[in-house]
Structure 1
């Protein structure tokens, strides 16, 4: 008689953190580039179509890299940071700290620092959240409602970047608290991959643009 198959470990979907404003801005910039560049390709004379092609080959990958590409993917086991020109993947056990000053940063146990482009820090949002907190403390100077305060409600009053960092810190704490004793044998290295699919066309576009401008 065969023994029953043990239940598989639950698979948790990645939580996605990115900048909606960056996506909207990137789409608008791409439409503008396609409109201007396409018009130059169709109606331009002499070297103008080639210059337009080189300009588009340079600009489009860079716009995509800095607006549409950045994203932070996190689940119960690891975090993946996709920045404009590289992707960093690591388990939570390698994360030492997460900070949001003027930019969102992740520090590893080995002392390395990685910025998270997908989580921009807005000082305006932070000041607005601070004013709301101050106004609420004035409305309730004796903190009479703190006993019944909801953590989710507290997060909702935080700036977007601070709220995202708080969520990521919770994942770090949960992962480290539940890490098994055999975690040392698991994959614990930090993986960094360069985005050659973005870098290569941009470099080709720059070279082509320089050559065209040099030959007149």
Structure 2
């Protein structure tokens, strides 16, 4: 499930940016919190009560796992305003001005395709086939009600709606269509690797491998 949010620009900026719409996966965040809680509970227990190499192996595993779990659950987000689309994926941050977007494509995953042919997956807007089926059923019931068909009060839907991920993509397409020619919407695509995630995870993996090899 993807939920939009808003963040106001800095009040003292001389040329404040337009307000961001933020799209994140509430299911991903909830899953990440649960996984991190379990990892933390097991890790602290092993660090406190473990013997021999166990605390060191546990510490290395924590350094590896915590950044990876956070990267795939808590970190992903899509930020959109009148100038650009900023995609924060597990290991990269992609900034795409609206003029550089060729299309926003939905299939088994949601992607932004740039004018030079590059494709970037939107991790924070995952496709849910189950949600699409539920939305299709609500739309069918709404259409039946509008056409005079008999629909029981228990199953009637007052406002047929699309799946949240599909609605989020519709919002992004509207922004892309409305702002491709604005001054702020011009520019080139930029991609930055998330070394703040990759560095600790790699360090944890190296230390863990060394400890296992030595033991």
TM-score by length of 1: 0.84
CA distance in 1 between counterparts of 2:185 and 2:105 reads 26
CA displacement at 1:136 relative to structure 2? 1.5
Higher helix fraction: Structure 1 or Structure 2? 1
Mapped partners of 2:42, 2:138: distance in 1: 44
* Residue 27 (str. 1) matches residue 30 (str. 2): no
- Displacement, 1:197? 0.5
In structure 1, what is the Cα distance between the partners aligned to 2:139 and 2:122? 26
Residue equivalent to 1:85: 91
For the residues of structure 2 that align with 1:100 and 1:200, how far apart are their CA atoms? 32
In structure 1, runs of 5+ residues without a counterpart are: 1-7, 143-152
CA contact 2:96–2:189 (8 Å) conserved in 1: yes
Picking from 154, 157, 176, the partner of 1:172 is 176
SS in 2 for 1:28: helix
1:97-116 matches, cutoff 5 A? 97-116=103-122
1:67 to 59, 70, 73: 73
**Is the counterpart of residue 136 in structure 1 residue 135 in structure 2?**
no
**Cα 1:67/1:123, change in 2 over 3 Å:** same
TM-fit CA distance, 1:137: 1.5
Q: Please give the secondary structure, in 2, of the residue aligned with 1:18.
A: strand
- Give 3-state SS (helix, strand or coil) of 2:179's partner: helix
Q: Distance in 2 between matches of 1:40 and 1:115?
A: 37
SS of aligned partner of 1:117: coil
| 8 Å CA contact 1:57, 1:202 repeated in 2 | yes
Matched, 1:43 2:45: no
Residue 53 of structure 2 is aligned to residue 54 of structure 1: no
Task: Give the corresponding residue for 2:4.
Answer: none
TM-score w.r.t. structure 2 length? 0.85
1:10 to partner: Cα distance = 6.5
The RMSD of aligned alpha carbons is: 1.9
| Preserved CA contact (<8 Å) 1:26 1:63 | yes
Structure 2 Cα separation of the partners of residues 105 and 212 of structure 1: 40
- Shift of the alpha carbon at 1:38? 0.7
Q: 1:27 to 1:186 in 2, by over 3 A?
A: closer
Alpha-carbon distance change, 40 to 77 in structure 1, aligned in 2, over 3 angstroms? same
Work out which of the two has the higher radius of gyration on C-alpha atoms and give 1 or 2.
Answer: 1
Q: Measure how far apart 1:140 and its partner are.
A: 2.0
For 1:127 and 1:189, how far apart are their aligned partners in 2? 37
